[in-house]
Amino acid sequence: MAQTTGEDAALSFDPLRPRLIRVAYRMLGSVADAEDVVQEAFIRWMGADRSQVREPEAFLRRVVTRLCLDQLGSARRRRETYTGPWLPEPMVEEPEDDDVTLPLMLALERLSPLERAAFLLHDVFGVAFEEVATTIDRDPAACRQLATRARAHVREARPRFQVERQRGLDIAQAFFAASRSGDMTALGAMLAADVSLHSDGGGKRSAALRVLFGIEDVMKVHTALAVHFGKQPSELVHAGLINGLPGFVTREADGELQTTALDIEDGRVTAIYVMRNPDKLKHLRPRYG
């Protein structure tokens, strides 16, 4: 029989909640959706015969993954009509480190739902293929093939040379200072020739409607922004890692939060990821106001 109280269920579930949210977030790219999925998993946990569950974490990971697979189809349809470039919701200073950086999360978007599940469960969370097979209802050999195909697709997105944390944060601080002060010489010296700029406003705030490529176009945007910042300054409220990349959180002149994350190779910024969509920044407001 199932345990009889919600308190009993919560005592066994709550220590696992952060890890389950990590799984759901990497599957869905949305903090709010991940939290909803994990809450649904808790409801199912309350109704389960928990006395028969030998490994609660494995059981709940299966439930969360299957719920995410159910959601991915509708999530992809929403992104097909999304205004401008789509970026995952920013996660700031995650307590448990792994190498699922923002570029890798974007690469995961190109995978099928089953490829994404097999890759994340096995390669990121260290789940054996036998358990992956049970989770996604495929045999272990098929799961190995799914993970192999996924690796081929995301190989270029995985960091070849991880920038040392403090060095990355120093570059992010310098980037903030140069971009807000209008020092375009200093800013240009930080950028790689093939730098890209990805800005997500979601149709709610101003942002480029396409990804910009090349230092010339990126510098044109920042030259124009420097004039804006001269009249309406932004406030730095946090500097740290954002989805595994060096970056910062700012409060802009309109009172809204914004995150900027920088992909850095060989001391140069190769990609800039700016989140401006207020719907995707809601979870940061309790922390940064």
**CATH number of the domain to which 283 belongs:** 3.10.450.50
Residues 46 and 149 in one domain: no
Over residues 262-287, mean pLDDT:
95
For the cut 70, the answer to whether the pLDDT of residue 2 exceeds it is: no
- 13-66, pLDDT tens digit by residue? 999 999 999 999 999 999 999 999 999 999 999 988 888 888 999 999 999 999
**Displacement of CA 238 from its chain's centroid (Å):** 18
Q: Classify residue 255: in a domain, yes or no.
A: yes
| Mean pLDDT value across residues 214-232 | 94
Q: What whole-number percentage of the chain has pLDDT above 90? A: 76
Residue 199 and residue 146 share a domain: no
**Same domain, yes or no, for 77 and 108?**
no
Predicted local distance difference test score (pLDDT) of residue 1:
42
**Three-state SS across 186-236?**
HHHHHEEEEEEEEEECCCCCCCCCCCEECHHHHHHHHHHHHHHHHHCCCEE
Q: Other C-beta atoms within 10 Å of 251: how many?
A: 17
Has residue 96 been placed in a domain? no
Please report, rounded to a whole number, the percentage of residues in the chain having pLDDT higher than 70.
94
Quote the number of domains for the chain: 3
Is residue 133's pLDDT more than 90? Answer: yes
| Token pair belonging to 213 | 């490529």
Predicted pLDDT of residue 159: 63
Do 212 and 151 lie in a common domain? Answer: no
Quickly tell me which residue has 């190779």 as its tokens.
265
Is residue 190 pLDDT above 80, yes or no? yes
What is residue 195's predicted lDDT score, i.e. its pLDDT? 97
Mean pLDDT of 239-257: 94
Do 19 and 111 belong together in one domain? no
Show the domain range for 230.
165-288
* Three-state helix/strand/coil letters over 18-80: HHHHHHHHHHHCCHHHHHHHHHHHHHHHHHCCHHHCCCHHHHHHHHHHHHHHHHHHHHHHHHH
Query: Is 86 contained in some domain?
Result: no
- Write the DSSP symbol of residue 14: G
pLDDT tens digits, residue range 156-188? 766 666 788 899 999 999 999 999 999 999 999
Interstrand relation of 191-200 and 268-275 (parallel, antiparallel or unpaired):
parallel
Residues in the chain: 289
Mean pLDDT of 200-229: 94
Measuring CA to CA, how many Å separate 26 from each of 7, 67, 203, 236, 277?
28, 13, 24, 27, 19
Q: Judge whether residue 228 has pLDDT over 70.
A: yes
Residues 191 and 277 in one domain: yes
The whole-model pTM stands at 0.89
Model confidence over 73-99: pLDDT tens digits? 777 777 788 999 999 999 998 655 556
- Do 215 and 255 fall into the same domain? yes
Condensed to tens digits (0 to 9), the pLDDT of residues 62-80 reads 999 999 999 987 777 777 8
Q: Is residue 87 part of a domain?
A: no
144 and 180 both lie in a single domain: no
In the listed set 111, 129, 158, which residue is the last one of a domain according to the structure?
158
The residue type of 112 is S
Q: Looking at residues 231-252, what average pLDDT do you find?
A: 94
201 assigned to some structural domain: yes
Q: Does residue 119 sit in the same domain as residue 136?
A: yes
The secondary element (H helix, E strand) that includes residue 245 is strand 245-251
Q: Check whether residue 140 and residue 49 sit in a common domain.
A: no
- Let me know if residue 88 belongs to a domain: no
Does 153 share its domain with 170?
no
* Cβ-contact 212, 233 below 8 angstroms: no
Which residue, of 37, 52, 81, is where some domain finishes? 81
125 pLDDT higher than 50: yes
pLDDT for 98? 59
* Domain presence at residue 41: yes
Residue 93 lies in a domain: no
> Are residue 69 and residue 131 in the same domain, yes or no?
no
